[in-house]
Chain A
Amino acid sequence: DIQMTQSPSSVSASVGDRVTITCRASRAISTWLGWYQQKPGRAPQLLIYAASSLESGVPSRFSGSGSGTEFTLTITSLQPEDFATYYCQQSNSLPFTFGPGTKVD
């Protein structure tokens, strides 16, 4: 199975800050990577697919980049509604594993 890691595990930020989260895969996955946002008690929401494509309806302050084994999710100007936990997920090969999450608070 492909193992996904994320750093940092948590980040303290303020409204207006630029936040960058890194996701690494245990082997190359090309650009088969998605990012999700999850708020407490809610289902996850897809933000980014194929490493850098913005899901419909997601604000443009969210962006993704990377390929191979290293990927980043950037929030350019943190908004109050962005305080949440973020997960990466590889779709290169079964099983489609998730990272451990990064909490933005």
Chain B
Amino acid sequence: QVQLVQSGAEVKKPGASVKVSCKASGYIFTDYDVYWVRQGPGQALEWMARIHPRGGGTNYAGRFQGRLTVTRDTSISTVYMQLANLRSDDTAVYYCARESAAGRIVAGDYFDSWGQGTLVTVSS
């Protein structure tokens, strides 16, 4: 079965960087896009980025441009999300998610499998 397993919780100081990993299994890693979505405490979901694992191409939400880097290592079926220059309002649960298999048929970007989430706390 499809599984996305994320790295553990992180506590960072303002101005630092964080790198979260997302290891995929149960499917052909290079066949499906992977996304990052975050959720602040008591807040809505916020889409951050997309990566095409086959070629490594990425798209980022404008508000994260310059601070966010998403990469992948196809040899270990893992995607990484690195957020730099952290602020207190970056405190959130960060999720990776896989492109929906059904959504691919209609060429839409939906997310059918999610990681368990990684809590990143930014505090001085």
Taking beta carbons and an 8 Å cutoff, which residues of A are in contact with B? 1, 32, 34, 36, 38, 43-46, 49-50, 53, 55-56, 87, 89, 91, 94-101
Contact = CB atoms under 8 A, between A and B. Distances in A.
Contacts of B115: 43
A98 B61 contact: no
B53 interface: no
A32 B108 contact: yes
B106 to A, nearest CB: 5
B106 A50 contact: yes
Interface string B96-124: 01001011001011111011110000000
6 contacts: A1-B62, A34-B108, A36-B45, A43-B114, A89-B47, A98-B37
A94 B48 CA distance: 10
A55 B102 contact: yes
Contact of B110 (A89, A95, A100): A89
Interface string B10-27: 000000000000000000
Interface string B41-69: 00011110010000000010110000000
Given A96-B47, A98-B47, A99-B44, A46 B111 contact: yes
B29 interface: no
A94 B33 CA distance: 14
A89 B45 contact: yes
B80 interface: no
A52 to B, nearest CB: 11
B20 to A, nearest CB: 14
A65 to B, nearest CB: 16
A43 B117 contact: yes
Nearest to A46: B112
